[in-house]
Amino acid sequence: MKLHVSVQYGTGRAGLPASPTIRHWARAALRDMKHSRVALGVRIVGDAESALLNCRFRRRRGPTNVLSFPFEPPSGLHSDILGDLVICAPVVRREARQQNKSPRAHWAHMVVHGILHLRGYDHQKRRDATVMETQEIRILGELGFTNPYLS
């Protein structure tokens, strides 16, 4: 698969994963897709931008770890664009610390989790959550990370 991942840093880059690392994690989350080409965007932001987008698009207050915006091409048109992820760096850092996880492992989880949402996975119902979490655990395991749901 030909993969194009556009990574934007809307906040300071210190301590954040590099673009090639994010692309590596994205490729793992897309490995079993049957598409020959896929494009997606990943924007890393601070609390304020995340909170603004979370309010505007989910009607929820405050920043959140990852927002997924699937791309829906107009009817009858084909597109290689999967969508965009917005990941909030301060939230990911706080969650990693609170959950006693390595920041790198939690970043990988957020990229994989967000991409699975772009692919249509969801976790609103328990059965759907189990399917999505099983995929996350498998993909993260392939990347060398432990099960993110074990504490």
- Residue 23 maps to a domain: yes
Could you tell me the pTM of the whole model?
0.96
Domain that holds residue 39: 2-142
d(CA 13, CA 94): 16
- Residue 15 maps to a domain: yes
- Residue 32 maps to a domain: yes
State the sign of the Cα–Cα–Cα–Cα dihedral 65, 148, 115, 128. negative
Q: How many domains is the chain built from?
A: 1
d(CA 34, CA 51): 34
d(CA 33, CA 29): 9
- Residue 63 maps to a domain: yes
- Residue 24 maps to a domain: yes
Selection from 34, 32, 44 nearest residue 5 by Cα: 44
What per-residue confidence (pLDDT) applies to 39? 98
What per-residue confidence (pLDDT) applies to 24? 98
What per-residue confidence (pLDDT) applies to 33? 92
* CATH of residue 39: 3.40.390.30
Low-confidence ranges of the chain (pLDDT < 70): 151
By the 10 Å C-beta count (0-12 exposed, 13-18 middle, 19+ buried), 122 is classed as exposed
- Residue 130 maps to a domain: yes
What per-residue confidence (pLDDT) applies to 151? 62
Query: Is residue 129 a contact partner of residue 40, using CB atoms and an 8 Å limit?
Result: no
β 81-88/66-70 pair status: antiparallel
According to DSSP, residue 10 is labeled S
- Residue 150 maps to a domain: no
- Residue 54 maps to a domain: yes
